[in-house]
Amino acid sequence: MDNNHFDWSKTQFETRAIHDGQEPEETTGAVIVPIYQTSTYAQTGINQTKGFDYARSDNPTRSALHTAIASLEGGAWGLAFASGMAAITNILYLMSPGDHILMSDDAYGGTYRLIDKVLARYGVEYSMVDFSELEQVREGLRDNTKLLIAETPTNPYLKIVDIAGVAALLSDRYGSDLGGTALTKPLFVIDNTFASPYIQQPLAHGADLVVHSATKYLGGHSDVVLGLIAGNDDAIRENIKFHQNAAGAVPGPFDCWLVLRGMKTLGIRMREHSANAMRIAEWLKADPAVKEVFYPGLPEHPNHAVAKRQMREYSGMVSFTVHGGLESASRIVAAAKIFTLAESLGGVESLIEHPGEMTHASTAGSKAEVGPDLVRLSVGIEHIDDLLADLEQALEVGVPAGAAAD
């Protein structure tokens, strides 16, 4: 079989994750994409290349990753960046002074900081609404709105955005034509980091662009920082690609290789992350130290029906609030042993953190501010019995018996 002419689109997700864009290398037959650790490429004549001229513009290892993420997200193209925030920054380069961005009120602290502290200095306006409420999205649109950006599940409260619902709302108001670089309707961007393309594919539900911090589930081993974008509109791709080449923020070939390696096991990892997270969410509900559990897989989650419709699993992120406020939450995250106190998420190992003091500290005083009693878990793929035992002892330390009465 000639893999270079095989139609991988007819295969299942797990098969595409291993093979699409990653066919055996032609010269040696290497079955894994090589790390092309080179900055420049020989030309046969002036501007006569074999597809590559300078590594800031592109690299064969990176190109393989472009194909792979496009395949997994069901898009026409993909682009890789030095980090998830670099990917979002390159999307935001599409904005001009006077444009308006509609952002989720439950936004990652880094995204909020970039828009509030950087982009706003250049005359770009923004406002925040609860994207899990379609009417709030409708009311938040302005005549100068050029971009909508939201995560689903959101970070850290794990709200679910009805992607198809927002897309339909935009089509009803603006029509379906993006209009190339002169946008006739706002770009609808979904940050799919918490779910991964195994669990949901936002482009299939009507999003214009999907963005990832591949540092998380796609890499999966807490050993790389990288960002990805996938989409379908070629004019938007060329615009983003132009800005990336002009401004830099490109990933190195080894980082691209690490993400390609991680993506090969994405399906099996996400199933285990999700199974462990569901068990933990159900267990936390019954613990008297816990006030509220946020996990879209729970039937009582206010957006469970939407999650069930657009997600195949519910991912490995669980947040919960505890009695005793900041003091209790701080003791819990410090007492955990298997759950490592650290920022980030999506690795095979379990992590615990206090969003209000760590990943979302930049949202203090804003509409996106995180409560002091919130604890966030990135549930890994360790044995579930060990994870539950660790949480049990941490909660006992954090909220002593009889203290859960605030």
189 φ/ψ angles, rounded to the nearest 5 degrees: -115, 130
Catalytic residue status for 56: yes
> Which residue has 């290349």 as its token pair?
49
191 is catalytic: yes
108 part of the active site: yes
Instruction: Please identify which of the residues 41, 56, 264, 271 carries the catalytic annotation.
Output: 56
Measured CA to CA, the distance from residue 152 to residue 159 in angstroms comes to: 7
Q: What pairs with residue 359 in β-bridges? A: none
Helices (H), 79-195: 84-92, 109-113, 134-140, 163-174
146 is a catalytic site residue: no
Which is the catalytic residue, given 146, 185, 216, 331? 216
Q: Whole-angstrom Cα distance, residue 338 to residue 349?
A: 8
Report angle CA 323, 296, 266 to the nearest 5 degrees: 115
Q: Are strands 351-353 and 340-341 parallel, antiparallel or unpaired?
A: parallel
Distances from the Cα of 159 to the Cαs of 50, 104, 260, 344, 349, in angstroms? 46, 10, 29, 19, 24
- Whole-angstrom Cα distance, residue 285 to residue 126? 36
Catalytic hit among 116, 191, 208, 373: 191
**Nearest-10 Cα torsion for 299, 300, 303, 305:** 30
Q: Of these residues, 108, 198, 295, 314, which one is catalytic?
A: 108
Q: Which residues pair with 227 in a beta bridge?
A: 81, 213
Between CA 236 and CA 51 the distance in angstroms is 21
Active site residues: 56, 108, 191, 216
